[in-house]
Amino acid sequence: MKNWYKEDTYKSYKSRCDFVKPGNKDKLYIYQRDLKRCFYCGKKLKFHQITLDHYFPVSKGGTNDVFNLVTCCKKCNKLKADFLPEDYEAVILKLFLTAVIDDKIIGKGLNIDNKKLKKELLNVNRIECITDRFIFQSNSMRFYIKDNYVTKVVYLGG
Ligand SMILES: [Zn+2]
């Protein structure tokens, strides 16, 4: 048995994993979430073939949050450019709720624990505003989100 070969493969695999940057972990998450297919044409892609497309374009204030990024083949990415899809609110809302369920959206410096926060985030039903960050809203709360973190929560009247 040539165990040295296996071990070597494992080692190189492990060292590659150790060098995965946080951004690449998000990329892997998005790739798996989108079932390894281009979000637009549905073509099945290998991980190294993918690009990430900002659904709400950067040029219009879109961010790098996981719910604003979709798996995309190079061809579709080029075609989409900075076009803003009409259905962006519904799509981003769905990707946002998926990210909440997957524990990708958590609080940072808040006086509310993540379990309770998650419960509240699942009530989000609309995008309030997109400037340099996304602001989501439920019927009772408003959430300010940047880099997949909830940085501010505002309780709405009542
Ligand atoms: Zn495509």
* Ligand 1 centroid distance, CA of 102 (Å): 25
**What pLDDT is recorded for position 158?**
62
Provide the pLDDT confidence category of residue 126 given band limits of 50, 70 and 90. very high
* Ligand 1 centroid distance, CA of 18 (Å): 30
Provide the pLDDT confidence category of residue 7 given band limits of 50, 70 and 90. very low
- pLDDT surpasses 70 at 6: no
**d(Cα 105, Cα 145) in Å, to the nearest integer?**
9
**d(Cα 103, Cα 84) in Å, to the nearest integer?**
27
Domain ranges of the chain: 3-155
* Ligand 1 centroid distance, CA of 75 (Å): 6
* Ligand 1 centroid distance, CA of 62 (Å): 20
Beta-bridge partner residues of 41: none
Beta-bridge partner residues of 126: 137
Structure tokens, 137: 């809203």
- Across the range 54-63, mean pLDDT stands at 93
Residue 77, CB-side half-sphere exposure with 13 Å CA sphere: 13
* Ligand 1 centroid distance, CA of 36 (Å): 11
Structure tokens, 31: 């790739």
Question: 98-124, pLDDT tens digit by residue?
Answer: 999 999 999 999 999 999 999 999 999
